[in-house]
Amino acid sequence: MLIRVDPSSREPLAEQIAAQVRGAIAAGRLGPGDRLAPARELAEGLGVNMHTVLRAYSALRDEGLLELRRGRGATVHAAATPDATRLRNLATELVTAARRLGMSADDVVELVRSVS
């Protein structure tokens, strides 16, 4: 999987990396059990600090998309399907848009309930 970062972007490098992995899972290019490049190797290839890659991998782990095992690296979690990943991306977009509009978390929950 090819990952690229734009150092001049306003988006933090770790988020750029995480977004590309999310996109690969959503598009089906990465699937459950697939291994990602070791953090050190990816960092060297991208010209970024290894901790930047680890931050991206940790965020993806916290989202339930990756499993991180010491000595075994990062693999795509069994539950990380393209549909689930796309749904999570849509939810993230919804929350971001709601924040821009000044909506609270309760407002967003009520909005979702009203359309279901």
In the chain, what are the domains? 13-115 (1.10.10.10)
CA dihedral over 22, 44, 67, 13, signed as positive or negative = negative
pLDDT at 114 over 90: yes
What would the pLDDT profile of 64-92 be if each residue is shown by its tens digit?
999 999 888 899 999 888 888 888 888 88
Confidence of residue 42 (pLDDT cuts 50, 70, 90): very high
CA distance 36 to 101: 37
Q: What is the predicted pLDDT for the residue at 17?
A: 97
CB contact at 8 A, 42 and 49: no
